[in-house]
Structure 1
Amino acid sequence: MLRNSLGLKDMIPFKVKGWLDAMCYPFYIARGRRPWGLGYYTAKRRQIENSIDAELLKPGSILPEGYGYRLDERVIEYPWVYSRLPSNPGLMLDAGSTLNHSFLLKRAPVSKSKLAICTLAPERQCYWRQGISYVFEDLRACMFRSETFDTIVSISTIEHIGLDNTLLYTPDETKRESESRDFRAAIREFRRIIRPGGICYITVPYGKACKRGWFQVFDAQMVQMVLDDFKPKYHEIEYFGYSPSGWHGADPGDLTEATCFDIHQEKNFGPDFAAFARGLACMQLVA
């Protein structure tokens, strides 16, 4: 009973925050859709939900004009992954805990998986009542046996590995690091713990290589490192770019100078009002 009470108590602040954000949504629209203000999360969630349900990012699709206007890259990443997951993902690992939201967990095909979430430290949002397993450890050396998972999803996670994770993800001071190539150890672990024929989905901010303390932007050389370490039998990579009018499919050659806006380090938005990444690489790797 104590466990249930603590779980419900921990969820209350998120519900209150969600209600407040939804109430402020009309003001967010009226004030020009400035990223990260009150109403922003409601706008982003609605875009993600509608895009997943409508399969807007299914293979071969072209995004409508103005898609994801002044919204961060999650409006690409989530619908992209959901549109490519098998109808039954089997035993699935969320490497980084980016799926740990009720509106995502209840949607197929994730809802049909047997899901394990691996991240550095416990989070207040927890859905163990839905049969989800939580493991708290470092993806560079994880506890899972070889060839365990049918599917691995790692959305905007590996760009933080080996860097300063104390800003947002853990109070553990040993995770205040500056090892920009440590993501490679995690990729090798993904390859070890996925079964032959399993599929791994990885997304990263893409553009001009740059280390920003708690994350880094990947360039073509770093994406190639992912391929070299995973050694997929088959792979596909799709690239997306952000412009003042929103998100669109892009050629990687057009993203070589793409940068990120970081609300934690910068006070003023750029003229495009990018909420975070201006370039994105989405990888589908078959073991």
Structure 2
Amino acid sequence: MGDSILEKHNQKIKFIVYRIVSRFGISLLRRLFPEYFAKEPLAPTDRYIEYPFIIRNLPKPPAKVLDVGCSGSFFPLLLASFGYDTYGIDIRNYPILNKLKFKNFTFVKGDIKESPFPNSYFDVITAISTIEHIGISGRYGIEDDPEGDKKALEEMVRILKPQGAILLTIPFGKGKVIKPYMRVYDESRLKDLVRDCIIELEEYYIQDDTDNWIECSKEDTLLVDVKFDKYPLCLLKLKIKNEIDPSQA
């Protein structure tokens, strides 16, 4: 089962890379993302699971999409190439824009806890392995704020359209804070984080002994000895609570 899931995700990642290569050429891709072209084979990263999850839960273009914490990621450019009205926000610069220009991609340097966007602006907001870092000092120029992740999600809810979706990926399992890296969410911390939302879809993954990702139950994540470089993943599709049928709450 694990092999078939990994193969399916490998095919989707290959398709993503193909789209970028077909538009910009392999030489530019090598310059932008040298880590993806290392001579040694790379172990499957979080993105093998996260990108396909995001893509299959997006509405059709030209929906307005915000990618939170986009610095260093080619994912917003992929969304723009698909025809989405794409925005990115990060407290760091987005250096890729020095080499590429997109008419339907807008980067905003700023803090997602206090964004400049108006209410109910986006159809979809993505936060791919991002929110667990917010409020943990020591990386990415972030200041300590124990409530930083909650403030960020509250702001996402504010700028999301009433029928929109937040696509969130986070480390999950035995809850802890691993400074200066990230939070690992447990069920209690996750419930507190998404208190203004309804979880419409949730998936959980762990890595086997060969680092391949396999889908698992929420309970299986608690068996993993969580480390800063190896942890289970939780993938979520969230809706604003007030826009959900009360019978589903």
TM-score by length of 2: 0.74
Instruction: Name the SS of the counterpart of 2:201 in structure 1.
Output: strand
**Distance change in 2, residues 1:277/1:79 (3 Å):** farther
1:164-183 alignment, distance < 5 Å: 164=137, 166-167=138-139, 169-170=140-141, 175-177=142-144, 179-183=145-149
**Distance change in 2, residues 1:147/1:99 (3 Å):** farther
Cα deviation code 1:35-61 (max 9, x no counterpart):
xxxxx3xxxxxxxxxxxxxxxxxxxxx
Q: Which runs of 5+ in 2 are unaligned?
A: 1-26, 241-249
Q: CA RMSD in A?
A: 2.7
Cα deviation code 1:46-77 (max 9, x no counterpart):
xxxxxxxxxxxxxxxxxxxxxxxx32211100
The range that moved more, 150-159 or 133-142, is: 133-142
1:129-278 alignment, distance < 5 Å: 129-131=101-103, 132-164=105-137, 166-167=138-139, 169-170=140-141, 175-177=142-144, 179-213=145-179, 214-228=181-195, 230-232=196-198, 235-245=200-210, 246-262=212-228, 276-278=229-231
Q: Which residue of 2 aligns with 1:116?
A: 87
Distance in structure 1 (CA, Å) of the matches to 2:166 and 2:71: 15
Aligned AA for 1:129?
A: K
Cα deviation code 1:102-130 (max 9, x no counterpart):
xx445468622111100112132227611
Contact 2:131-2:170 within 8 A present in 1 as well: yes
**Distance change in 2, residues 1:257/1:182 (3 Å):** farther
Counterpart of 1:282 (choices 235, 240, 245) is 235
Aligned AA for 1:79?
A: P
Distance in structure 1 (CA, Å) of the matches to 2:203 and 2:32: 34
Contact 1:77-1:203 within 8 A present in 2 as well: yes
Distance in structure 1 (CA, Å) of the matches to 2:239 and 2:81: 18
Contact 1:255-1:279 within 8 A present in 2 as well: yes
**Distance change in 2, residues 1:19/1:194 (3 Å):** closer
Instruction: Name the SS of the counterpart of 1:100 in structure 2.
Output: coil
How many residue pairs match? The answer is: 210
Q: Which runs of 5+ in 1 are unaligned?
A: 1-11, 30-39, 41-69, 263-275
Q: Which residue of 2 aligns with 1:61?
A: none
Structure with the higher fraction of residues in strand conformation: 2
Distance in structure 1 (CA, Å) of the matches to 2:73 and 2:93: 11
Contact 1:144-1:193 within 8 A present in 2 as well: yes
**Distance change in 2, residues 1:202/1:98 (3 Å):** farther
Instruction: Name the SS of the counterpart of 2:113 in structure 1.
Output: coil
Contact 2:76-2:86 within 8 A present in 1 as well: no
Cα deviation code 1:136-156 (max 9, x no counterpart):
111112111110111101111
Distance in structure 2 (CA, Å) of the matches to 1:195 and 1:277: 34
Identity level (%) = 21
Distance in structure 2 (CA, Å) of the matches to 1:183 and 1:284: 17
